[in-house]
Structure 1
Amino acid sequence: MRVRVDFGYDGAGFAGWAAQPGLRTVESELSSAWGTVLRTPPPRLTTAGRTDAGVHARGAVAHLDVDPSAYDDLPGRSDRTPDAAAVTRLNGVLPQDLRVRAVSVAPDGFDARFSATSRRYSYRLADGWADPIRRGDTVSWRKPLDVEAMHEAANALVGLNDFAAFCKRREGATTVRTLLRYDWTRDDDGVLVATVIADAFCHSMVRSLVGVVVPVGEGRQPRYWPGQKLAARQRDSAILVMPPHGLCLEEVKYPRDDQLGVRARESRSVRSLAD
């Protein structure tokens, strides 16, 4: 039986999502917690967003396959549902910087990674007053930034493109993505906040998308410069990969239940611009 898990974490104490020998990761902690509550070996987890070390998540989603009888036994003698019992028990054994929000039996065809239609990230950048209480999720920048220039440059990157200039290449993987939204605003505290939404992201893509517009905000590069880098389709050392702690996975969206399997099959196909 497939189970969906909605969760969040403070990435400061984790070496990213993926389990790695000798390192504390989100996957290893969450998998170990599931093994404890189900009284089984730690199960394999699949997530919608494999975040890097130091990156936070507020709206992360994962799935695992479990024995239905073990899942139904979670409430014990209480009158709670297995879903509610799972949340309580998991949070009882998980560390405070990793919390489960909801657990539910997944509909047919659900895949946390491949069924997703979009991921939404935020990035926080303070070019003035940097609240020390928010230092764990906000990057402090010494130079003043023109948010309107950054917003215009960011908007020019939206669409179906080859984002090779902003990704670390992996053998056999495509860098073609659909960037659905990329904009910049200032919040009430004067902090610059980016909203970045795409159907999927490749490794380091969001932090590079932020890094390519920062020189525009400083006035060192023209507003069309990020578009030129995109068109070059080549990794460039001039593009900053911004610090991880300003980045947060805010939300993962999925289609209607009857479209989950179709979406998963589409996502597994390797895309090109010719397609």
Structure 2
Amino acid sequence: MGKPGGSFGGGGRGGGRGRGGKTVVVEPHRHEGIFIARGKEDALVTRNLVPGSEVYGEKRISVETNGEKVEYRVWNPFRSKLAAAVLGGIDSIHMPPGSKVLYLGAASGTTVSHVSDVVGPEGLVYAVEFSNRSGRDLINVAKKRTNIIPIIEDARHPHKYRMLVGMVDTVFADVAQPDQARIVALNSQYFLKNGGHFVISIKASCIDSTAQPEAVFASEVKKLQADKLKPQEQITLEPYERDHAVVVGIFRPPPKNVGSA
């Protein structure tokens, strides 16, 4: 992926030019709203919602297509568990353009900024972060990105921010707490629409540092199932993160074959 920093200049139709004159072509990824920049090294990118602006020193790539210049931001999987899941082959992250996402554990807004790019100007990201220090960075990111609503609160107490958050299509959680399954279930009950999806990043050592990661992941899946969350997919984040898994599923799936009254 290379180190973040710097930018590519614009290039010819459908492509930009990287360092050394290498042409860069940006193609849609199979996940809507995400792209692959193909050049000397392929990179996962998102279309920059705020052209000319970076969030955390990430590399930016400008390409020209049919006379229109478009800027993309490199999404580093070593700095974002969601990017690692996408590159790891996850089937769906359920965050298409226009969707509403509740992001728990937003930190300084690194991944949140890419989700902001993905859902685009018609979408919304409710970003919950407990730490005041990280929260300050998150608020600064949201100043330029009007589709991010920063919420400096504890995700364990969703009633404290229930007046700020509408119903969402997807809950994403990266909270690294021992009771994170319960946190996701609680927030889902408040804000996730029936048939909506959850995406949870599980760090095994945060839950039980003495158990095998696979056993921890299996235990967390059982907890989710007990709270009307139906896991559909699970992948590990190697080689980007050790002992991490991302689990994706659906909330309280509607009953099948219900007869008419």
TM-score (norm 2): 0.23
Q: Greater RCO between the two (CA within 8 Å, min separation 6)?
A: 1
The structure with the largest helix share of the pair is: 1
The structure with the largest strand share of the pair is: 2
